Amino acid sequence: MRIRSVWEILAWLTATIMVLKCCSASRPVVTCSGIVPMVNRNDKISITDFGGVGDGRTMNTKAFNEAIYRIKHLRRRGGTLLYIPPGVYLTESFNLTSRMTLYLAKGATIKATQNTANWPLIAPLPSYGRGRERPGGRYISFIHGEGLHDVIITGENGTIDGQGGIWWNMWRQRTLQFTRPNLIEFKDSRSIIISNVIFKNSPFWNIHPVYCSNVVIHHVTILAPPNSPNTDGIDPDSSSHVCIEDSYISTGDDLVAIKSGWDEYGIAYGRPSNDITVRRLTGSSPFAGIAVGSETSGGVYNVLAEHIRLRNMGVGIHLKTNIGRGGVIRNITVSDVYMVNVRKGIKISADVGDHPDTNYNPNALPVVKHVRINNVRGKKVQQAGLIHGLKNSPFTDIWLSNINLHGPIRPRYVPWTCSHVTGGAIRVNPSPCLELIQRTRTRTGVCSIHA
């Protein structure tokens, strides 16, 4: 009897393991990365064919420019792959071209020069009207793409190193003349893939797709120290159909921040960010994990962020905008988030960020509506949430469900605070603010979306 039951247990265990194996193996992984198909390019060149030297000292600007010139003008069928072998390739900023793959081998590093004196300037973005941190033009991104299509940056987890320290110090010492360079910017481009690359020490934002569509970013690692200023991970800006998946980001500012232009310039340009997915992202930062804003003047809609794991964060989920921004933020869904050691779990507010100049319109009030935040768990969260709409533009249809954000015993837990918000809350612990609970009682408790 006893032995038989042991065998029965073993048989049951084996069966269970087989079922688990079968079903976890056969369950398709949900992904949006198919919006830009991966292409293998048969025409391959190496940076060393153009005189590239990976000794960490030789300047390779000429090699990069010549290699990319060759890709641009020979226009090989199916495009060309530019191979970066192991080694450290120091270079000034350079421009990519269409139908190319920048392939970094294992052990390959493309490193930005620390000589910032000759760094080229480009015009400000029309939706910002000026550089984001200094008036006038802005330094071109280290790796830049403008008006391109079908570009892939990939490889075997080689590194793109911005050597940002020198720029962070200029910011700290207030000696910056113009806005710092992004590590990578694609402007007016489409069909872009960035995968299996490590991004390190960006001078400013790391990956900035602006006025782009169909952008896939997956299996990337983005690293910068927690005290490095404005080193946002990925900032989709006035861009649509952006898919960010399976990545690790640990920086000094927001991990992902979805933007769409700044105050009167962003309103005039009128280009939203929409249809953005962020999935299976892990990271930490003193600022936000998943952010919308604060520059949202062209509007942000249809955002899905799910399966997010955050540790040592300022704010877990942050929708932020400001008076003067205008713009509509709507249909934002964030679900399945786990966070630990966080100052604020969820924050939705309209008093964040500065203005480009004094010409912003104080009557251009932002609109925030149709927001769903579901299945959020957290430990060591100092304040679970705060939601502060504007008196003359309350946030509407804001729904929270299945939220458990637990604080430290000490210092004392700070309760939810809200104002000018309507919507509802179901199974939210600790109990959210009255504005959301009272609304829930008057409704059926069904959390449906009317966008």
Ligand X SMILES: *[C@@H]1O[C@H](CO)[C@@H](O)[C@H](O)[C@H]1NC(C)=O
Tokens for 87, please give them: 């080694």
8 A C-beta contact, residue 142 and residue 181: yes
Count the residues of the shown chain that bind ligand X, applying the rule CB under 6 A: 15
Asked whether position 196 contacts ligand X by CB under 6 A, the answer is: yes
Is the peptide bond prior to 430 cis by the omega test (within 30 degrees of 0)?
yes
Distance between CA atoms of residues 297 and 129, nearest Å: 12
Q: Taking the complex as a whole, how short is the minimal distance between the CB of residue 219 and ligand X, in angstroms?
A: 4
253 is known as an active-site residue: yes
Is residue 62 involved in binding ligand X (CB under 6 A)?
no
**C-alpha to C-alpha distances, 221 to 92, 160, 200, 218, 291, nearest whole angstrom:** 22, 10, 8, 9, 18
Contact 366, 321 (CB under 8 A): yes
Q: Is the CB of 66 or the CB of 146 nearer to ligand X?
A: 146
Asked if 240 touches ligand X (CB under 6 A), the answer is no
- In the shown chain, the binding pattern of residues 327 to 366 toward ligand X, with x for contact by CB under 6 A and - for none, equals ----x-x---------------------------------
Residue 221 binding ligand X, by CB under 6 A: yes
Nearer to ligand X, 155 or 326 (CB): 155
304 is a site residue for ligand X (CB under 6 A) = yes
29 is an interface residue for ligand X by CB under 6 A: no
Please state the closest distance from residue 355 (CB atom) to ligand X, in A: 27
Kind plus residue range of the DSSP H or E element containing 26: helix 2-26
Q: How many residues does the chain have?
A: 451
Write out the H or E segment, with its range, that includes residue 275: strand 273-292
Rg (CA), the chain: 24
**Side chain identity at residue 185, one-letter code:** E
Nearer to ligand X, 122 or 433 (CB): 122
Strands annotated E in 156-230: 158-161, 184-187, 190-195, 197-200, 207-210, 213-218, 221-223
Which tokens sit at 136?
């006038």
Q: How far is CA 148 from CA 247, 309, 357, in A?
A: 24, 33, 32
Torsion of CA 283, 287, 289, 294, to 10 degrees: -150
State which residue, 182 or 331, has the beta carbon closest to ligand X: 331
In terms of CB distance, is 230 or 302 closer to ligand X?
Answer: 302
Each residue 268-287 as x (binds ligand X by CB under 6 A) or -, in order, gives: --------------------
- Stretch of residues binding ligand X (CB under 6 A), selected from 232-240, 259-267, 301-309, 360-368: 301-309
Site string for ligand X, 71-110 (x = CB under 6 A): ------------------------x---------------
Pair 403, 373: CB distance under 8 Å: yes
**According to DSSP H, which parts of 254-365 are helical?**
263-269
Among 250, 302, 349, 374, binds ligand X (CB under 6 A): 302
Does position 382 interact with ligand X (CB under 6 A)? The reply is no
Closer by beta carbon to ligand X, 125 or else 403: 125
Q: Which residues within the stretch 134-173 sit at the binding site for ligand X (CB under 6 A)? A: 144, 146, 156-157
Q: How far is the CB of 410 from ligand X (least distance, A)?
A: 36
Would you tell me how many other CB atoms lie within 10 Å of the CB of residue 37?
10
> Between β-strands 121-122 and 138-139, what pairing exists: parallel, antiparallel or unpaired?
antiparallel
Provide, rounded to whole angstroms, the least separation between the CB of residue 429 and ligand X: 26
- Among 161, 253, 263, 397, the active-site one is 253
Cβ atoms of 317 and 290 within 8 Å: the answer is yes
Is 242 or 428 the residue whose CB approaches ligand X more closely? 242
Contact 132, 179 (CB under 8 A): yes
Binding range to ligand X, per CB under 6 A, among 5-13, 168-176, 296-304, 418-426: 296-304
- The catalytic residue positions are 253
Contacts to ligand X by CB under 6 A? 95, 122, 144, 146, 156-157, 196, 219, 221, 302-304, 331, 333, 451
